[in-house]
Amino acid sequence: QVQLTESGGGSVQAGGSLRLSCVNSEYTYPMYAMAWFRQPPGQVREGVAAIYGGEDITYYGDSVKGRFTVSRGKTNNTLYLQMNSLKPEDTATYFCAAQYAGAWYGPSDPDSFSYWGQGTQVTVSS
């Protein structure tokens, strides 16, 4: 049973930074993929960043390239998202997602991921 728990969200002014963490407390063996998604109020869930595959390929959404960095912890049961130069449009609930194996539709497709955390709120004020 996979249990993902996010932390690190909060409120920050534009231009600031936050670091999100996601821990799989039921870690047994490395995930094929782990990712961050976000969902602003009233909008669809958007792929933000992901690490996947045996060689840890990284993916970033266009809106966060150059500002956000995704990384895994050494034990592979932790995922991080370093968010710099935050903008008001980054305001959303951020979700951690993970997948061992199964249908793969790409790192930005929520249907690629079977396991989800409860989310952590990020609010960026102008």
| pLDDT tens-digit readout, 2-50 | 899 999 999 999 999 999 999 988 867 778 999 999 999 899 999 999 9
For the segment 90-115, the average pLDDT, to the nearest whole number, is 94
| pLDDT tens-digit readout, 38-91 | 999 899 999 999 999 888 899 999 999 999 999 998 777 899 999 999 999 999
> CB within 8 A of 76, min separation 6: which ones?
27, 30, 31
Q: Which residue has better confidence, 102 or 97?
A: 97
Instruction: Report the mean per-residue pLDDT for the chain.
Output: 94
Instruction: Tokens for 14, please give them.
Output: 């534009």
Closest CA to 91 of 17, 45, 41, 20: 41
* pLDDT score recorded for residue 2: 85
With contact defined as beta carbons under 8 Å apart, do 39 and 96 qualify?
no
Q: What secondary structure does DSSP assign to 62-123, as a single string?
A: TTTTTTEEEEE-TTSSEEEEEE-S--GGG-EEEEEEEESSS----TT-GGG-SEE---EEEE
Q: Is the pLDDT of residue 112 over 80?
A: yes
